[in-house]
Chains A and B, each alone.
Chain A
């Protein structure tokens, strides 16, 4: 499995010539925060996971928290509502457990061997590239905020803490956004701009090098805030502002 954070811009696959990419015609955008190691002192006991390749997460421990999320009816975003919780805890390096909404998923996963917290949009994303990127990030940070505030979620990652110096951004839509250099070139400018505006840091982007996989990039910057509900709340608000600001951009 590849770790996109370790690649550099030149590792983007060239792809076929004559292929027109249109990454922001897609609604299949996602963003993922990685889990890093938590201090040993903070480790609490947990059940043994039922699959290999969980990245140290106890996916099933998160299921009640996701169901509570549905029950309390709290906002997932203006245009979304929850449908169900899907459980793939038994899969190696898999999608783990996620909340399915009408247009997206909020999940804990270990895809690519990298455990993380993910918001994946599937449909109904409109607006400029900035708006779309910011909208996805705003929902990811809202999820992270909820995660940090809910002990039920934290119990699913007892050995882990969310990282605030990197994230993965991707577009799962090979027709419009194949995993090639042309997509990377099209996505990098607005993505860098949004992330640099959010973090006030210079952001380094590294593309997924395997052309068979969905397009993604790993974004890295210097850590300036620790993982907490408050930190993610700040990031969520900034992303929401960018989402609104992006609406005035030319599509």
Chain B
């Protein structure tokens, strides 16, 4: 059969019917928004929930270094408040716990080239981001990803974001057990879950295999799970130390202990219960107070826990809570004895040949920083260090080839913006290094001071104040040049940079952190970075650093020089950087950096007035409104909008003479609107249609609240009638009537919703 590209895409194997429906609906929303039939606020949150995010200058304004300019886009419907339709955007792609198969890597490379700028960016939440994407291209992009088993659903917006986990889960020597299946199960369970749709803000979850390492960063998450086992009466069972209410942002908050041991079978239901409590009691109007951490602080962790456990007790049992636990024994890839012995001999042969060539010494240096021994003897984890978290599509393809050949066809993105290859046989390390070198991916220094984490900053983020990537690039280049000469205690430090106070670069938990700020000097603005010292990366982001003052961006390399030099010369034996910073104190650090804070006049040193990698005279006028939280669109509005989409579908079915289907879809449209109104009343999801009708009748019809001022209660009767006659055959005239009734019911639902909003407004 001959197929066009569109037909091939529609029939793409691997694209689930549910995801296909969602993407089709999103494409229809795009079309409706272009026609002005969807409110821009609602559309903005809709696209955010599909990972389609705004990007710098998408308000149509840009300062070119001399004057602010209006970018002359053709006037069209906006993508959201103050967001131009045709302006390039960012597409965030969810990669749960960073896990990618080689086939998925190939698809990611393809869509990066076809729809973006050919570069894939690994984020600090193990996502992949693409930049310079047009909104019109996103449905096809999503279909192609969906066919590869990748979703963008709930990658942004007020949703459960990508669930993160240690990239070495399952192969790490310090872990209690492999958290991978738990992270996978919770990701699947909460994705699109009705109880996780009505948040006032985003919601972040992380898993860690142990308490001591950094990888999971459990203390800086809304929900943090640290693997634990408990032995009672000789029976060992798995569970988690469960933390709630952590977060970074402008004011970081360390998570509170919810329980020291949450049994594995309670992981999903208790998480669901937290979602319900957060949706019901969390702040919705003031986004600055809407994260879970604010609710935990407001209630106190004890009462919060009580509320969660009461909610837990009310939940209807869901078989998914424990179904995945039956498969835990089936984790693949246990090492074999023969492989282990194979690798032992490999190590010997490597050491023999080490002295033989110069290239092998480069290999050895790479191995020191980028290779970590696995728990399973004979295997290693290789970290592919990505400068600024970026790799090209060609590199991603090469990496997929290496993964296929050497690491069981998979890789994992890390929160340090790298990718790890696991299950690499020690015998293969030389070949892996050679293959990575050929792709320009064998940069050493992973996990060292040269391996700097940075958010997008002013490069592409609307909220960026200073160039975190520019700074990171500069510092990285300086450290790479002299990494062989670095004192080991300096080499082991972590630097993280954010473009603003919102902490996407996780500066609070770095040894040396920076976040962008601005200072005025005469008529000019000067890019600065606030210096944050002594954050703790290990112990799951165990403590946050101290802000010691803002320094002009161009003098930050000197800050790093001075601070690290002081650490080398003045530290006590075995003193950590955190302890050192706290011992010498903020006053001494400030004194050390004092002269660096001075800004010469523009005429004397104009270089201070532009940022790293950006020669324009610095200006704050490009600073925009972020979409990080999205607008808080009440869930009921999504439901009412979905009902309109459905009634439109019913019209199409009528046009196609599919009367039974038209009547069915019209009924579903009414039910969608009714459900939205009922859930608004009950503050929780209601799945069953009978319950929706019963609740609708009791709460809205019998009380006459839904009654139209002129038509009375007749619109509700359309719903009840359709519900009662659902299974009856239907003729053409009846189908037409049903579709018209659905349209009227939805209008009435909108009118009712607007009446209640007016009633709620202060007089």
B613 CB-CB contact with A under 8 Å: yes
B-side binding surface: helix, strand, loop or mixed?
mixed
- Is the pair B5, A20 in contact by a Cβ cutoff of 8 Å? yes
In the complex formed, the residue of B with least CB distance to A79 is B74
Interface segment out of the listed A38-46, A153-161, A167-175 = A167-175
Contact partner, B62, options A84, A87, A176, Cβ 8 Å: A84
From residue 99 to 149 of chain A, which have CB atoms closer than 8 A to chain B? 100, 102, 105, 111-112, 122-123
Contact partners of B110 in chain A: CB under 8 A: 174, 212
**B140 pairs with A92, CB closer than 8 A:** no
Q: Which residues of chain A come closer than 8 Å to B5, judged between CB atoms?
A: 20-22, 175-176
Do A70 and B64 have beta carbons less than 8 Å apart? Answer: yes
Contact of B65 among A18, A67, A83, A174 (CB under 8 A): A67
Please tell me if the beta carbons of B72 and A60 are within 8 angstroms of each other in the complex: no
Beta-carbon contact of A92 and B57 below 8 Å? no
Residues from chain B with a CB closer than 8 A to the CB of A74 are: none
Number of interface residues of B (CB under 8 A): 52
- Is B113 touching A87 in the complex (CB atoms < 8 A)? no
Interchain CA distance A20-B4 in the complex, whole Å = 5
**Per-position binary interface string of chain A over residues 13-26, scored 1 when its CB falls under 8 Å from any chain B CB and 0 otherwise:** 00000111110000
| Chain A, range 200-217, C-beta contacts under 8 Å to B | 212-214
CA distance A91 to B395 in the complex (A): 9
Nearest CB of A to B12, in Å: 11
Chain B residue contacts of A88, Cβ below 8 A: 117, 119, 390, 392
Q: A84-B62, A90-B388, A112-B394 are in contact. Are A64 and B615 (CB under 8 A)?
A: yes
A94 within 8 A of B: yes
A83 near B57: Cβ-Cβ < 8 Å: yes
Output the least CB separation between A25 and chain B (Å). Answer: 8
The residue on B at minimum CB distance from A63 is B615
Set of chain A residues within 8 Å of B441, measured between Cβ atoms: 92
Task: Determine if B118 and A102 form an interchain contact, defined as CB atoms under 8 angstroms apart.
Answer: no
Known A-B contacts A67-B615, A95-B118; A83 and B71 likewise in contact (beta carbons under 8 Å): yes
A90 in contact with B390 (CB, 8 Å)? yes
Cβ of B391 within 8 Å of any chain A Cβ, yes or no, is yes
Report the Cα distance A100→B460, complex, angstroms: 12
Of B56, B57, B64, B134, most A-chain CB atoms within 10 Å: B64
- Nearest CB in chain A: distance from B463 CB, A: 16
B453-470 vs A, Cβ < 8 Å mask (1 yes, 0 no) = 000000100000000001
Stretch of A50-58, A187-195, A235-243 on the interface side: A50-58
Q: Is the CB of B392 within 8 A of A93?
A: yes
- Min CB–CB distance A13 → chain B (angstroms): 15
A54: min CB distance to chain B, Å: 10
Kindly list chain A residues whose C-beta atoms are within 8 Å of the C-beta of B134: 122-123
Decide if A86 is an interface residue (CB 8 Å cutoff): yes
Interchain residue pairs with CB less than 8 A apart (11)? A18-B3, A53-B440, A86-B459, A87-B459, A91-B391, A92-B440, A93-B392, A95-B118, A102-B71, A174-B114, A213-B397
Known: A81-B71, A100-B117, A213-B397. 4 other contacts (CB 8 A): A22-B4, A83-B71, A91-B440, A212-B109
10 pairs of A and B residues whose beta carbons are closest in the complex: A92-B440, A175-B5, A90-B387, A64-B615, A94-B392, A53-B440, A18-B2, A20-B4, A71-B64, A50-B477
